[in-house]
Amino acid sequence: MKMLYYFIGTAAIALFTSCEKELEVYHAGAGLNFYYATPGDTLVSYSFVYGPATTTRDTVWLEVETIGRLSNTERPVVIEQLLTGTGDALPGVHYVPFDDASLRAAYTVPARQARARVPVILKRDASLQAQQVTLLARVAPTGEFPLINPGRNRVKILFSDQIEKPASWNESAYLFPFGVYGPAKHRFMIEQTGEKWDDAYFNNVLGLTKEAPYYNQNYDNAYCDYLVGVLRRALQAHNAERQARGEDVLKEADDTPVSF
Amino acid sequence: MRKRSIFIALWAALASTGCYEDQGNYTYTPISDIEIEGMDETYTLVTGVDTLNITPRLTTTYPDSDLEYRWVLAKSINNTVGGEHEYDTLGHERDLSFPVNKAPGVYTLYCYARNRANGYTTFVKSTLEIGTLYSRGHYILKETATGATDLDLLMEDGRLLTDILERTQGAPLPGAPRNLGILYSKFVVDPDTHAKVRVHCLGVITRDKEVAIYRAFDMYKAFDHHTLFFDEPNETPYRFYTTAQSCDYLASAGVYTEHNAGIMTAGTSVGKYSFPKTDAAGGSDCWAYCPNIWGAIYWDETHHRVLYANASGMAYELTSTDFPMPGSDHECLFMGAYGVNIVYGLFRDTSGPDAYYLYTFTTAYQRGAPAVTGVQAVAPASKLLSATLRATNEKTANIIYFVHDNKAYYHDVTNGTEHALEIPGLPADETITAIANRHFNYAEAPAFDYFSVATWKNGSYKLLTYLMIGGLPNGDAVLTATGTGKIKTVQYLAPGAGYSNVFFAGRSYSR
């Protein structure tokens, strides 16, 4: 008899819960995570080498997005560094610490807003000429934003004062016309054209992207072919000059000749 | 334990069935069929001129009062294969009367019939090739009385549009005609929308190095020599042509190529040329398209060598370990194709007393470089050597047509013999200015395989086109035209070709 009561009781619970159709109004509280316009936004590459030699610091912007209801008041954002164990950026040396007082006003989500951009101030330390460092950032839970979406809580910033391989440089993509990447090749392209050949140039001018299908509406295959032709001819002339001086052709550090 | 098991089983059964709701419809309605007939597979129409009238025949047991209709026109956006489409509803009547007012292009017309009572719907579809008067026909490249270049168009119904460049551009192109090439699905920037689109174009080259590309359906001049390149070269232009994957331009600087088909439809272009893709520069008017390699074999008159280019516009020197290759002591007199795998080249060897050789270049389908598979000495007395015009039969007979002393002959390649060519109705007192095998074979256009000859006298031309048996003209001319000027060549343009079948452009027509 006791078992029968158990059965009836649990069956009643099952009937009450299994037919629920109405979604409840969200009431789990406020949260915050990074906003990725594309999955590729989890990675940011930056190099001081493209900018003026006098630049001592530059800003990378990260976008955050709230969870839950909007607030009528400004809410502080807390970003913190996660250590990877390899080449981690040093606060105060390679970047302005997230909790620096000078950044406090900028690390907020304005009232009645769901998104905000927060600055990461990168510092041009001399050590960046010899190494690339990693700044892995995450949103820290706070009293204002106790919830964190773990799937959207990482942004890795790779930066240096060296030439960097743009994330859009994808030699495995069928349409990618510029061949295998190499720092010497990249520098040569910058010198010959005056363009940075960074992600902004690939995306906004050439229409080549780091995400499938690896091109956008700006893509013009004939123009890319033309640039390859320009660079190939410039390289031939450059190598001829080098060889006339008794030097070897332009090569990467691993002795691979640069080619287009 | 047993009670617990029973309890768990009962609970699971309840949990799994608690939300089940039978949403089946048991009010069955008998479904009849609707058959729609009376629509052609393809309609070819001229925008602004034609009205498409279709009266479909319906077979069904439904009462007509229950039926409703919808006519829908679908067009591929940017003419990409398998890409997005845009749709336009033309009407809801059973019979369609559509004054054709759409932009030129290839459309799909759907006729839907639906029973309002039970929702049963069926449809049939047709292909609509909407063009202008310029969209289809035999384009005639001619030299005007002033020595300039102009175009006439011989349409399917025999009408002739004359002096098209003078009428549409204000003047013919300066210089005598050199070449006319059909550029199927070439990228251009639409002047109205500024969109990068693929359209069929005509590429015209003159002896004064004038180069022009016209959008075929309205003769909009899309490019001249100054606008055709990202970096304008100083070169001798030879010809435009379409391969299976590209619209190419052969010049003394090399092969300029534009990917326009297959997987490369993913990319778009403003239609300018960049640089030749290889360092194998050079070319000449001695050129033959070879369907097997989706490219061409041709003579480089600057460096005296034989080159070939594939469907990607990659040009290379053709070499042989079995036969001596024509070189600095050679001059190429002619190149022409036969079948899908053979190109003939006629060369004069000036290293000693003049000697003449007919080279056979053979290709394997999509594999590697062409090979020299035969070198045949041609007797010095052969009329072929001093001919003023030469052309191969490209499909049905292993012969080379030629004109010697204003008389037509053919050279039988198999046995090296020469024969007079009987051409019914050819005016004996007129000068022969062009001779060719013109053929076309594509599903959306009428196929033909013609022997074509043009004559000139007192400022006027005659174009005579014949059906053939064994490569020789048979019977009276089936298509003729008479106009002013002197014909250089004739090229056929079909509006639908090249959009839906990327392989078409590589193979099925004479160039």
Domains of chain A: 31-160 (2.60.40.1740), 165-260 (no CATH)
- CB pair distance less than 8 Å for A220 and B267: yes
Question: What is the rounded CA–CA span in Å between residue B341 and residue B352?
Answer: 32
Q: Is the pLDDT of residue B19 over 60?
A: no
- What is the rounded average pLDDT for all residues in chain A? 89
Contact B317, B296 (CB under 8 A): no
Instruction: Give the three-state DSSP class for B264.
Output: helix
User: How many CB pairs below 8 Å do chains A and B form together?
Assistant: 71
Check if the interface score ipTM surpasses 0.85: no
Residue B125 has pLDDT above 50, yes or no: yes
First to last CA, chain A: 85
Which distant-in-sequence residues (6+ apart) come within 8 Å of B479 by Cβ? B138, B154, B158, B450, B463, B465
User: How many beta carbons lie within 10 A of that of residue A22, not counting itself?
Assistant: 5
Best A7, A225, A226, A259 residue to mutate vs chain B (most B CBs within 10 Å): A225
Which pLDDT score is estimated for A214?
Answer: 86
**Residue recorded with tokens 């630049």:** A55
pLDDT at B86 over 90: no
Q: Which two tokens stand for residue A222?
A: 């004939």
Interface test with A, best of B21, B194, B230 (most A CBs within 10 A): B230
- CA–CA min distance B470, chain A (Å): 44
Cα B332–chain centre separation: 27
Confidence category of residue B41, pLDDT binned at 50, 70, 90: confident
B227 contact A CB<8A: no
pLDDT (tens digit per residue) in B135-173: 889 999 999 999 999 999 999 889 999 999 999 999 999
Here the contacts of B368-373 (C-beta below 8 Å, separation 24 or greater) are B369/B308, B369/B316, B369/B318, B369/B319, B370/B290, B370/B293, B370/B297, B370/B308, B370/B318, B370/B343, B371/B320, B371/B322, B372/B318, B372/B320, B372/B322, B372/B323, B372/B325
Choice among A59-68, A153-162, B253-262 with the minimum mean pLDDT: B253-262
At B81 the pLDDT is 44
pLDDT at A11 over 70: no
A180-196 pLDDT, tens per residue?
Answer: 999 999 999 998 998 98
| Closest to A260 in 3D by CA, of A189, A164, A175, A208 | A189
Query: Which stretch, A170-184, A227-241, B32-46, has highest mean pLDDT?
Result: A227-241
Average pLDDT of chain B is 89
CB atoms within 10 A of CB B52: 18
Pairing state between β B42-46 and B121-131: parallel
| B273 interaction partners in chain A (CB closer than 8 Å) | 222
- DSSP conformation class of A126: G
- pLDDT the model gives residue B436: 98
- For range B321-342, the mean pLDDT: 96
Q: Which residues of A touch B3 (CB under 8 A)?
A: 3
Q: Which residue has 């509280």 as its token pair?
A: A29
> Residues B306-320: what's their mean pLDDT?
94
Could you tell me the residue ranges of all domains in chain B? 34-131, 137-276+379-507
pLDDT in tens, A118-158: 999 999 999 999 899 999 999 999 999 998 888 999 999 99
Contact status, residue B157 vs residue B136, Cβ threshold 8 Å: no
Q: How confident is the model at residue A13 (pLDDT cuts 50, 70, 90)?
A: low
**d(C-alpha B198, C-alpha B193), whole Å:** 13
SS3 content of chain B, % helix, strand, coil (to 5): 10, 50, 40
- In order, the DSSP letters of B7-37 are HHHHHHHHHHHTT----------PPP-EEEE
Give the CA count within 13 Å in the CB-facing half-sphere of B44. Answer: 17
Beta bridge partners of B450: B438
Q: Can you tell me the distance from the alpha carbon of B86 to that of B32, in angstroms, rounded to the nearest whole number?
A: 31
Q: Is A159 exposed, middle or buried (0-12, 13-18, 19+ CB in 10 A)?
A: buried
* Residue pLDDT, tens place only, B405-459: 999 999 999 999 999 999 999 999 999 999 999 999 876 567 899 999 999 999 9
In this structure, whether the domain defined by B34-131 belongs to CATH 2.60.40.10 is answered with yes
Nearest-10 Cα torsion for B193, B195, B200, B201: 80
Please calculate the CA angle A218-A221-A227 and round it to the nearest 5 degrees.
95
Over range B172-195, report the average pLDDT. Answer: 92
> What is the reported pLDDT for B444?
58
Average pLDDT of the segment spanning B258-267: 60
